[in-house]
A = this chain, B = another copy of it.
Amino acid sequence: MGNPLTPDVLVDPVVLTRALVDVESVSRDEKVLADCVEDVLRKAAHLTVRRVGNTVMARTRLDRGQRVILAGHLDTVPVNGNLPSTVVDDLIYGCGTSDMKGGVALALHLAVTLPDPRYDLTYLFYEAEEIESEHNGLNLVAEAHPKWLKADFAVLLEPTYGAVEAGCQGTVGARVHTRGRRAHTARAWRGVNAIHAAGEVLRRLEDYRPRTVTIDGCTYREGLNAVRIRGGMAGNVVPDECSVEVNLRFAPDRSEKQAHEHLREVFDGYELEITDSAPGALPGLDAAPAREFLAAVGIEPAAKLGWTDVARFAALGIPALNYGPGDPALAHAPDEHVEIGKIRDGVATLYRWLAP
């Protein structure tokens, strides 16, 4: 089978979006699509291409002084009866249209059609974003080839419906344990009820007033929620154990360590077990390429809600933001689709920003 990403296809980001969608690439099964993308990039004389696993990197070497990364993941969630793609009016339907082959199409179109950008550009098409982070291509590159990620600014083409979402919240998962003493419920006074004791934990959660923090014009709303509660073993036993699993989403002005300390303060007096944790990312919109990008888009940035790979760039000291044509609300949905107009707007914006 020939490469469906022909020159005719590459020249139109809308046609290219459909072509990318129609090469199925569920996480851990990205090889065919990565081969097609690598093949296309190697034909572009102005690019240096490298590959690790199913992650492909291509970059210009124009000595522009500043370097910008455009990144997108090649994988999708499992197909849900939504392939091959279809077009209805202004909408392309299909698995990965929104998350995020529409965004990948913008980057790949630019890579082959813009040989002389204003900044040096690094394109990253990476694998396994939708699954456990140990497989994440961006993670693997950061470990194996950190030099590939040297840059002054990064745009992740994740779905934002044309908005600019900068930085992201951090997240901490933890368990708060309460203990008691087991007893038969017919002789309950001999026991201590660990579920009743969790009442105070829920009270603190109910009384918790989350902060709202504005950084570089982006507003981050924090939140602390019980996400699971488990306790008790039988219908006639006073339970001796209960655990409340909580999730803290925190603004990026707190470090991960400070977020842990904050949780310990909130649940002072209780046994607290941190189960997972990831730092937030500051929006970092001061750098020149970032300011010029915002001018090209022409709208105010907003805070990214939820955790994205933007935080991986932030951890490397690279200011990064999300900007893509897809609607994030449609990601992973069986009726996932992307608006053709948003793809055309996106490519026009990137050209406005990056063309010489």
Contact = CB atoms under 8 A, between A and B. Distances in A.
Contacts of A223: 185-186, 188-189
Given A186-B305, A205-B196, A306-B184, A238 B227 contact: yes
Interface in A196-217: 196, 198-199, 202-203, 205-206, 210
Interface residues of A, number: 45
A133 to B, nearest CB: 14
A307 interface: yes
A232 to B, nearest CB: 3
A289 to B, nearest CB: 27
A235 to B, nearest CB: 5
A235 B245 contact: yes
Nearest to A275: B235
Contacts of A276: 235
A212 to B, nearest CB: 10
Interface of A: 169, 171, 173, 184-189, 193, 195-196, 198-199, 202-203, 205-206, 210, 221, 223, 225-239, 242, 244-245, 247, 249, 276, 305-307
A38 to B, nearest CB: 34
A238 B226 CA distance: 7
